[in-house]
Every structure is written in structure tokens, then in C-alpha cells.
């Protein structure tokens, strides 16, 4: 795995003496594993901003 976010996570883990095991899977599976406590962190998760509801005419 490569990229800025990966490098940041690896640098923080090295500084804090943590072991990081990247997990690659479809989003639904990652979310299931996270909710089940099988993985500890979801990195770079973002939710799109919802559009405001149009005003009633």
C-alpha cells in the first residue's frame, strides 16, 4: 500500500511502537469487521455532506 495517508499512519505507528496490519476489503466487509471488533481503526473515512432539503414552494 502506498500514499500519503498510509505513510502518516505508518509514521505514527512507528513512533508509538504499534504494529499496523493493513486490511484490504470491500467497504461493507471492513465496516462489519470494525463493528465486530475484528479491526480497530478505519483510516480516511469520510461522509459526503448532504444537500440541504429544498425549500417548499
> The whole model's pTM is what?
0.64
Query: Contact, 29 vs 38, CB < 8 A?
Result: no
Let me know if residue 8 belongs to a domain. no
Each residue's pLDDT tens digit, 5-53: 888 989 999 999 999 998 999 989 999 999 999 999 888 777 677 766 6
Count of structural domains, the chain: 1
Let me know if residue 25 belongs to a domain. yes
Let me know if residue 4 belongs to a domain. no
Write down the pLDDT at residue 56: 53
Let me know if residue 54 belongs to a domain. no
Write down the pLDDT at residue 2: 77
CA distance 8 to 39: 19
Write down the pLDDT at residue 5: 83
Query: Which regions of the chain does DSSP assign to beta strands (E)?
Result: none
Residue 41 structural domain:
20-45
Let me know if residue 32 belongs to a domain. yes
Amino acid at each position: 500500500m502506498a500514499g500519503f495517508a498510509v505513510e502518516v499512519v505508518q509514521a505514527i505507528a512507528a513512533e508509538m511502537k504499534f504494529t499496523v496490519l493493513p486490511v484490504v476489503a470491500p467497504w461493507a466487509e471492513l465496516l462489519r469487521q470494525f463493528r465486530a471488533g475484528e479491526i480497530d481503526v478505519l483510516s480516511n473515512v469520510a461522509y459526503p455532506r448532504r444537500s440541504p432539503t429544498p425549500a417548499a414552494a
